[in-house]
Amino acid sequence: MAAVIPDLKTQWLKDGFAVEILDLDLPTASEEELLAFDELCRRYAVVVVRGQNLSPKQVVDVSSRLGRVSPQNYTGPHPDFPGISILSNKMVDGKLIGVRDAGRNWHTDGTTYQTLGLRTMLYGVECPPEGSDTLLADAAAAFDALPEERQAELEKLSIVHNRAHLIQKYSRSVLSPEEMAEMQDVIHPIVVKSDVDGRKSFFITNGSTKRVEGMEEEESWALVNELMEHCTQPQFVYAHKWRAGDCLIWNDVGTLHRATPYDEEKYIRLVYRTWMRPFAAAAVTSDVEAALQHH
């Protein structure tokens, strides 16, 4: 017999886009409550659970419910839990313990995977009282806001994404030129459909964009940048103001995201990040490949 999934108490942080789950303590939650948590994470682009007290192992356990946790070997891996990437300005023995600044410009992760539906979870361990917000833009509301004719035109277009392009753009050099040359193009429509409710949203980023199919490079980037500006207008954006103990989870289908700066001289930020690929996705062939899907 199917389990009865209880309703968890929720409130909108941004209507139809970001939802907060109230009165849930992830480490002590019942299996039924956790199933309800999974369902909310599947259904909504952005989910927040505040007031948690999670060990690194518990961060991995919660993440593992939502997808296959990717290794983070090149992006500030936690020494004991390689599925966790440490985002921090903290220094120990004169060395940064993780990645100092990640994703300060608007972008979407996971665009060079064939299978869509990558999820990200950030867990705040130490959070500055000001700055270091995580901004998330509602790419479905942004699509809905366009006139039907424009929507129809855009739905016909696809973007050629390429990992080597992304690496070059961010001057990463962990791969040889031969390895980079082998990186295959991955093509995704500019407008993708949610596999949960069929809602359409933009799936765009400029880092991995080689070109829009059938367009020259310059025209392609102009279009992608125009659409990114459209998506990231204030009316479409949820700004997450961090408190220690916050869990922020989002799906890369339906969102764009970025981090805002903070006073790194004055404050310490320590955030654990995990990336979860859909369970159905093909296994990643190497750790290097996994690390380079993102920026």
Distance separating alpha carbons of residues 288 and 295, to the nearest angstrom: 13
Q: What is the DSSP string of 35-64?
A: HHHHHHHHH-SEEEE-S----HHHHHHHHH
* CA 257 and chain centroid, separation: 7
- Least distance (Å) between residue 259 CB and Fe ion: 8
195 CB-near residues (< 8 Å, 6+ apart): 117
Nearer to Fe ion, 105 or 114 (CB): 105
Distance separating alpha carbons of residues 122 and 168, to the nearest angstrom: 26
User: Residues 36, 46, 89, 109: which binds Fe ion (CB under 5 A)?
Assistant: 109
Please tell me what DSSP assigns to residue 113: S
Q: Which stretch binds Fe ion (CB under 5 A): 19-27, 108-116, 188-196, 217-225?
A: 108-116
CB atoms within 10 A of CB 146: 16
Contact between 252 and Fe ion by CB under 5 A: the answer reads no
- Least distance (Å) between residue 122 CB and Fe ion: 10
- Least distance (Å) between residue 276 CB and Fe ion: 13
Nearer to Fe ion, 71 or 103 (CB): 103
Q: Report whether 119 contacts 67 (CB < 8 A).
A: yes
Nearer to Fe ion, 109 or 133 (CB): 109
Nearer to Fe ion, 109 or 246 (CB): 109
- Least distance (Å) between residue 257 CB and Fe ion: 6
Q: Could you tell me how many residues of this chain bind Fe ion (CB under 5 A)?
A: 2
- Least distance (Å) between residue 252 CB and Fe ion: 8
Of residues 45-104, those binding Fe ion (CB under 5 A):
103
Query: CA–CA distance from 150 to each of 4, 30, 156, 243 (Å)?
Result: 43, 47, 10, 40
Nearer to Fe ion, 83 or 103 (CB): 103
Nearer to Fe ion, 52 or 111 (CB): 111
- Helix, strand, coil percentages (3-state) for the chain, rounded to 5, are 25, 25, 45
Of residues 176-235, those binding Fe ion (CB under 5 A):
none
- Least distance (Å) between residue 119 CB and Fe ion: 12
User: Residues in the site for Fe ion, rule: CB under 5 A?
Assistant: 103, 109
